[in-house]
Each structure stands twice: as structure tokens, then as C-alpha cells.
């Protein structure tokens, strides 16, 4: 069994002080950073993850995904615009030992990391399969949107999927609870 960690959208704009801040985002960034530090310090043979990857909102012109009057369901304020500080990974997410980064949403809304591409143009599912990954753990921001979508797509792509709920932050309590229900119903394992 080869396991990978997928760190979803732990970016400046999704943490406190960002243009689309999620409450608790900076703390989640810090706690994921601690996990990554432990992973990096472990002997290679003792590492829980063979690979660590990240996804990133990377908007250029995503059309009606941005709105001056967002509904906070399908449309949002401008966020994670390519070339701005907001698109960067939060500094609490340290270290950043990512084997690959998958950018998504350049010209349309994209919630799942499986919609993203890495620098060489390969998608996340193909990248993971090429590395022999069979199991993934998912953490990051936001529980009720990009974490949910990424985990569901991982599950649908045939990966054994676990969401590390204690390492996520959600936009709203009700939609986060619904996301957890949806994930469990789909057969995704959710841990606290």
C-alpha cells in the first residue's frame, strides 16, 4: 500500500487576513506544517506518506466564479489571483516539502484538486497512479468545498480516501457538517 497526503488550498487568501478568509485557516496551516515537519524528520522507511502533494487555487479569469455581489455558494469575491500574494501558500505551512503542486481554476471555477495540473501538465489522478499510490489522506481548506470535492474525486478515482477532519477548516458549520455526511455516505473515511 502506497499512501500520499494531499494538502488542499492552504493559501494566504483562505486564511485570516486574506480576501476569502476561513476562520481557523492559519491554525490549520500551522498544524499541517507540524505534520509535514514530522514527516520530513522521520526516517524514509518510517514515513507514513510516500508522497506529499498540494493543490492551489490559481485564478486568472475564472468568469462568474468571481462576483462583486457573491452568493458564497457558487460565486465568490476575488481570491487566489495568479501573481498576487493571496495565491501563495500560508507561511504557517512550513516546511513545504511538496513533491508536486496542482494548480486549478485558471479560467473556470474548480473545487477539486483533481481538476488541477502540475507544472508538466499532468493531472493529479494520473500523477498519483504513476507513482503507485493506492491510498490518500486529504487535509486543508475548506472542508465544505475544496476538501470535500477533492476527497470525493479521489474516492471516485479508486483511491482509498481518508479526510483528516482535524486538519481542515470550513466556511460554515452547517455546510461543513453536510460535507462530512456526504463524504461518509460516499465511503470516504473521516477521522478527527
**Catalytic annotation, residues:** 9, 104, 146
Length of the chain, please?
192
User: Residue 174 — φ and ψ, nearest 5°?
Assistant: -65, -45
User: Residue 77 — φ and ψ, nearest 5°?
Assistant: -65, 160
All three cell numbers of 60:
486568472
Whether residue 163 contacts residue 149, with contact meaning beta carbons closer than 8 Å, is answered with: no
Alpha carbon 21 to its chain's center: 15
All three cell numbers of 75:
460565486
Amino acid at each position: 500500500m502506497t499512501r500520499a497526503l494531499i494538502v488542499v488550498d492552504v493559501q494566504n487568501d483562505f486564511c485570516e487576513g486574506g480576501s476569502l478568509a476561513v476562520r481557523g485557516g492559519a491554525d490549520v496551516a500551522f498544524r499541517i506544517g507540524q505534520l509535514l515537519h514530522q514527516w520530513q524528520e522521520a526516517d524514509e522507511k518510517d514515513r507514513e506518506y510516500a508522497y506529499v502533494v498540494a493543490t492551489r487555487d490559481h485564478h486568472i479569469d475564472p468568469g462568474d466564479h468571481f462576483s462583486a455581489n457573491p452568493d458564497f455558494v457558487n460565486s465568490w469575491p476575488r481570491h487566489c489571483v495568479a501573481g498576487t500574494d493571496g495565491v501563495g501558500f500560508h507561511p504557517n505551512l512550513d516546511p513545504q516539502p511538496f513533491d508536486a503542486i496542482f494548480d486549478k481554476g485558471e479560467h473556470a471555477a474548480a473545487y477539486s484538486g483533481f481538476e488541477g495540473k502540475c507544472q508538466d501538465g499532468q493531472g493529479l489522478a494520473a500523477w498519483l497512479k504513476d507513482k503507485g499510490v493506492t491510498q490518500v489522506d486529504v487535509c486543508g481548506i475548506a472542508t465544505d468545498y475544496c476538501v470535500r470535492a477533492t476527497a470525493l474525486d479521489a474516492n471516485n478515482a479508486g483511491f482509498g480516501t481518508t479526510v483528516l477532519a482535524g486538519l481542515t477548516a470550513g466556511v460554515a458549520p452547517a455546510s461543513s457538517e453536510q460535507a462530512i455526511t456526504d463524504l461518509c455516505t460516499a465511503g470516504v473515511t473521516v477521522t478527527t
